Structure 1
Amino acid sequence: MKDIVTSVLLLTGAAASLLGALGLVRFPDVPSRLQAATKPQTLGLLLILLGTAVQVEFESAATLLLVILFQVITAPVLSQIVGRSAYRSGTLRRDTLVVDELADPMARDDDPPGPTPRGGGGGPS
C-alpha cells in the first residue's frame, strides 16, 4: 500500500512539474509565466517530497516537511518580486492587464520629492 501511495504522489508531482515547465516555455507574457512557474511547480515539488517522505524514516520525513514549508513560503514571495520587477522595468505590457493596482503606488514612488525647506534661511516666501 505504501508503494502505491508513493507511486501516485511521485507521478502526479512529476506531471504537475512537467506541465508547469511547459507553461513556462509556451506562455507569451510575464504574468502567465509566473503563474506557470509558481503554482504547478510548487504543487509538483510538494507531491514529490510527500511521496518521498512516505518511504523514508521519520527523521528524514520531518526534514522533507521543513523543505515543503520553506517552498510554500518562498515561492509566492519570489513570484511577487519578479512580477514587480517586470512591472517597473517595463517588460510587462500594461495594456494587457485587466486591473492595474500598481499604477498609483508606482507613480507616487517615481515622483521626485519636492524641495525640502532649509532651516534658518530667510528666502522669499
Structure 2
Amino acid sequence: MKLLLDEQRTELLANGRANAILRENGLAEQDFNPVVKLFCPWGGATWLISELDPEDEDIAFGLCDLGLGFPELGNVSLSEIEELVGPGGLRIERDIHFEANKSLSAYAKEARLHQCIVA
C-alpha cells in the first residue's frame, strides 16, 4: 500500500509551501488539519501528517506517537517509516477511513491529555 495517495501528497506539499512562505516573512504558521494518518499494525505507533517540506519531500511534519506515552509534534522521514517491517512482513499502513475533524494542534492537545493519539 502506498503511504500517500497523489492527492494527499499534493495537499501536503501545498501546506508545506504555505507555511514556508509564512516563515520566510516572519509570520505565524498556519495550523492545518492532518491530511493522512499512518499507523503501525503490530504496535502502537501512529502519525498524523499535515505537511511535507517543499525542499525535501521525504520530510513530513505532524503529530508523532511511537506508542510510548509521549506524542509530540515534529518532523519525520517518510522513507524511514516506509522501511519499517514488522512480524510476518507487516508494513506501516495508511488509515483509509481517516478524515480529520480538527487542526493538528487540537489533536496534539488531546494526545497529550490521553498520552496517545486519539483519531
Structure with the largest fraction of helix = 1
Report 1 or 2 for greater relative contact order, CA contacts < 8 Å, sequence distance ≥ 6. Answer: 2
| Higher-strand-fraction structure | 2
Task: Name which one, 1 or 2, has greater alpha-carbon Rg.
Answer: 1
Q: Structure 1 length normalisation: TM-score?
A: 0.29
